[in-house]
Amino acid sequence: MLDRYAIKVIRWPLTTFSALPDKLGITANQVTLAGFVIGLFALPALALEAYNWALGFIIINRIFDGLDGAIARRQGITDCGGFLDITLDFLFYSMVPFGFVLANPDANAVAGAFLIFSFIGTGSSFLSFAIMAGKRNIESPVYKQKSLYYIGGLTEGTETIACFVLFCLFPAHFATIAWVFGTLCWITTTTRIWAGYQTLKEA
């Protein structure tokens, strides 16, 4: 829901900072992989309840995720880069609630499982529509510079990042936040299925 507005805010700084790695010959895919590796350190940090460290790794991962796209727009957007980016994004998204489950299985296991379950809904509806839209050459009117069709929803990347930040700032309330956000994710899944089906049917 908020991605279209967040992109306008972060576009200039990301475009500016992407000039240096581009000049150094660093590719977008290298930045994607580096960001994912850094993000992986959030898992042991969460399991050990080092939430400030985990938040730092999560933020760095998300900065790299934005930076790789800016570099790709300089060097040329590729299908393999888009595939790598979105695959590692979904792995990272599911890893964060799993880390909270490891930290406190008794309090967080069911809520964490529900949230990961809801991520399956948002992720599968997102990717399934992107595949079909690509086959029919349907382009997104909002995210024209993306390698995939980004179908919107109530919970997008910006909301997910905000949720992760809340998790780390208020870890004792993980379960409550996870139940609420997971429910919002299912609303997103439902609207995506409806909108995606109608769009493909008309096309």
Q: pLDDT tens, 88-115?
A: 999 999 999 999 999 999 999 999 999 9
Tell me which of 145 and 3 has the higher pLDDT.
Answer: 3
35: closest CA among 69, 1, 78, 77? 69
pLDDT of residue 24: 93
Tell me which of 156 and 112 has the higher pLDDT.
Answer: 112
pLDDT, tens digit, 9 for 90 and up, residues 54-73: 999 999 999 999 999 999 99
pTM of the predicted model as reported, rounded to 2 decimal places: 0.90
Long-range contacts of 166-171 (CB under 8 A, 24+ apart): 167/96, 167/97, 167/100, 168/51, 168/52, 168/54, 168/55, 168/58, 169/51, 169/55, 171/49, 171/51, 171/100, 171/103
pLDDT of residue 148: 63
CA distance 19 to 123: 31
Alpha carbon distances (Å) from 175 to 28, 118, 124, 166? 35, 14, 24, 11
Q: Where are the domains of the chain?
A: 3-202
CATH number of 3-202: 1.20.120.1760
